[in-house]
Structure 1
Amino acid sequence: MSESNQQILDSASRALRDSQFRRSIGNRSHRLKQGHFFKKLGRAAMWTAAVLVGASVIGGILSGIGFWGVMISAGLIAGGIWASMKFPKMKVPTPETIMKSDLKSLAGKTEIWLENQRPALPAPAVQIVNGIGVQLDMLSPQLNKLNEGDAAAYEVRKLVGEHLPELINGYRAIPASMRGKATDSGKSPDEQLIGGLSLIEKEISGVTQQIAKGDIDNLSIRGRYLELKYDQSAEAE
């Protein structure tokens, strides 16, 4: 295969990978991003209307704005639309903001945070992350049964805002060259990550079922995934 053909294939592969990572892992994150987009679209429309009204007023006073007036108005509209659609960029939630999120937006913000972690994760883990997005979509309606100050609400926030980020951030702290190597525990960081994410996915499913059954008072996050600890010596090497 020629070098040029290889470059084309590499570019296509990167484009496909980027496209996959731009996809939402759940409906909740998609709605949050869609809402952010429509807000920017609304600002662009308001700016366009303001420029047109201003041009009309000036044109009425001066009996027309002339060629250059039209060009300036068009430039202002184009620049305003570009700026409105470009900025502000949607802020990626952090584990800290997820912990403080209201229950209505908790699942969506968690999904957005997870979506931004995918490029650093191995392919099998990405598939599980996508599955977690599905589970978060199912959990979200059940959260409406909880009050903001409930202990159960705190437990759910801790699961997705503390334990889940702790697992992924711990993995990302390990040098890429060592993630596939077995540690003293007999499992590689890649395997530990996949195992931990699988357990969290099941835990979210269990919480959803527990709330759906009305067993809110007894809701507790068992934290089985916390047993999956990364070999500290691997990080130190």
Structure 2
Amino acid sequence: MSRDLERVLVETEDFLMRQIGSNAARQAHMRRVRRGFGEAFGRGRRAAIIFIGLIFSLIIASIAGASVGFFTWLIALPAFFLAALVSLSFPTRGSRRREPAISHEEALQRMPLATLADRCGEYLADRASDLPRAALPAADQILARLSQLQPHLANLRANEPIAGEARRLIGGHLPRLVDSWLALPPGERGAASENSRRISESLDIVADELAEICRNLDACRNSSFVVEHRFIETRYRDGELDRE
């Protein structure tokens, strides 16, 4: 009995810390709120356009000489309102685009490098509340590294080795790891479970690998600068000495 109580207390603490104490969890909550408001606004705007458009069409028809009397308006207005109301139940086009039929991993792998890190960050932040508390520091580090990498990945050529390494890790290994964790039965994802420890360790490794990619990118940029510096010196300073 005491073991069961201890397990419940550990899992309750884990849940509260995931919801309150993690920057990743807060980002996920704010992102869901913004998406909810955006979707509600989009549906309301579409319903208003439908209602106004139908009324405007009826006005044009009456101006053009069609027989539009009081009885027609009496029937048309409730029908127009009902059509607008029904449209509220359908998702907007943008919302449908965010729900691809393919897996998250495949969707990320198909994305251009210019948007890959940002979209992977959104993917991870949306799932932060489902991660164990022990994994949240690593998730926060990953989100910070992805934000740091994004502007530099946009400038990489697709055939560069570091671009392929980043795509495999960000667009393949990371989402596959998180998806496989979420696919486990809830009973195997408890705060004190072995799987909880494993996902935490795996995300730590991913965070370290992303840090290594950041260091490699810094080294590449420094090397490129040194090459350009030497070219300018050779081309102009040494060239001036030769001309003298």
Note the alpha carbon deviations across 1:160-212, whole angstroms, 9 max, x for none: 12221343345456555455699xxxx93322321221221232233234324
Does 2:202 match 1:160?
no
Using the alignment, how far apart are the partners of 1:175 and 1:72 within structure 2? 48
Q: Where does structure 2 lack aligned partners over 5 or more consecutive residues?
A: 1-11, 225-244
In the TM superposition, what is the alpha-carbon distance from 1:94 to its structure 2 partner?
Answer: 1.1
8 Å Cα contact 2:28/2:128 also seen in 1: no
Equivalent position SS for 2:96: coil
The equivalent of 2:122 in structure 1 is 112
8 Å Cα contact 1:110/1:160 also seen in 2: yes
The equivalent of 2:238 in structure 1 is none
8 Å Cα contact 2:162/2:213 also seen in 1: no
Using the alignment, how far apart are the partners of 1:144 and 1:136 within structure 2? 12
Structure ID, larger Rg = 2
Q: How many residues align?
A: 198
Q: CA RMSD in A?
A: 4.5
Q: Where does structure 1 lack aligned partners over 5 or more consecutive residues?
A: 1-9, 219-237
Using the alignment, how far apart are the partners of 2:48 and 2:26 within structure 1? 26
Pairs within 5 Å for 1:91-170: 91=99, 94-170=104-180
**How has the CA–CA distance of structure 1 residues 80 and 26 changed in structure 2, closer, same or farther, with 3 Å as cutoff?**
closer
Instruction: Find the partner of 2:56 among 53, 65, 77.
Output: 53
Larger RCO (CA under 8 A, 6+ residues apart): 2
The structure richer in helix per residue is 2
Equivalent position SS for 1:88: helix
The equivalent of 1:232 in structure 2 is none
The equivalent of 2:87 in structure 1 is 80
Pairs within 5 Å for 1:1-237: 24-25=27-28, 37=39, 40=42, 43-44=46-47, 46-60=49-63, 61=66, 62-63=68-69, 65-85=72-92, 88=96, 90-91=98-99, 94-172=104-182, 176-177=186-187, 188-215=194-221
**How has the CA–CA distance of structure 1 residues 24 and 90 changed in structure 2, closer, same or farther, with 3 Å as cutoff?**
farther
TM-score (norm 1): 0.61
8 Å Cα contact 1:98/1:106 also seen in 2: yes
Equivalent position SS for 2:220: coil
Equivalent position SS for 2:178: helix
Using the alignment, how far apart are the partners of 2:181 and 2:151 within structure 1? 30
Q: Percent identity?
A: 17
The equivalent of 1:3 in structure 2 is none
